Amino acid sequence: MLKNKIALVTGGAAGIGRAICQQLGAEGASVAVVDFNREAGEECVAELEKSGIEAFFIACDVSNEEQVRAMVAAVLERYGRLDIACNNAAVSRGSGPIHQFTREVFDQTLELCLTNTWLCMKYEIEAMLASGGGSIVNISSNASLR
């Protein structure tokens, strides 16, 4: 059970991230739903609250360092610590044989799927260390293994 735990989920407004928010909340965590889609994020928070889950929305584009810093600061301001971070936000540029992709698509894929996750961890780890620790789960893809 995750009672009294503070969780943050990037890309939490839709798809897999939204399901992760629901599961963390169902297990007792308070959930910060992070997304650059404000409308979907606020709708997700309303749905979580309807189920009795403590949640709030943070508008953030995880490719923007200042916004990522502010994302973690918003969690600390509201709850005083961060226990769980799930870095899930990413946009697929497709996958397939290397010779069929351009350098531009490869660079975008690294930025959207890897660099942004690293950036989130940079600030999440700093916050977690300050309060004695925490857990980070990064969502990846089979595509990264192929």
Ligand X SMILES: NC(=O)c1ccc[n+]([C@@H]2O[C@H](COP(=O)([O-])OP(=O)(O)OC[C@H]3O[C@@H](n4cnc5c(N)ncnc54)[C@H](O)[C@@H]3O)[C@@H](O)[C@H]2O)c1
CA–CA–CA angle 15, 21, 24 (5° rounding):
140
Among positions 23, 26, 37, 95, the unique one binding ligand X when judged by CB under 6 A: 37
Q: Which of residues 102-121 bind ligand X (CB under 6 A)?
A: 116
Q: Which of residues 56-75 bind ligand X (CB under 6 A)?
A: 60-63
Whole-angstrom distance, CA of residue 36 vs CA of residue 29: 22
Please give the backbone phi and psi of residue 12, each rounded to the nearest 5 degrees, phi first: -80, -5
Among positions 11, 24, 29, 86, the unique one binding ligand X when judged by CB under 6 A: 11
17 binds ligand X (CB under 6 A): yes
Among positions 6, 8, 30, 35, the unique one binding ligand X when judged by CB under 6 A: 35
Whole-angstrom distance, CA of residue 120 vs CA of residue 69: 8
Shortest Cβ distance from residue 52 to ligand X (Å)?
23
Question: Which residues contact ligand X (rule: CB under 6 A)?
Answer: 10-11, 13-17, 35-37, 40, 60-63, 88-92, 116, 139, 141
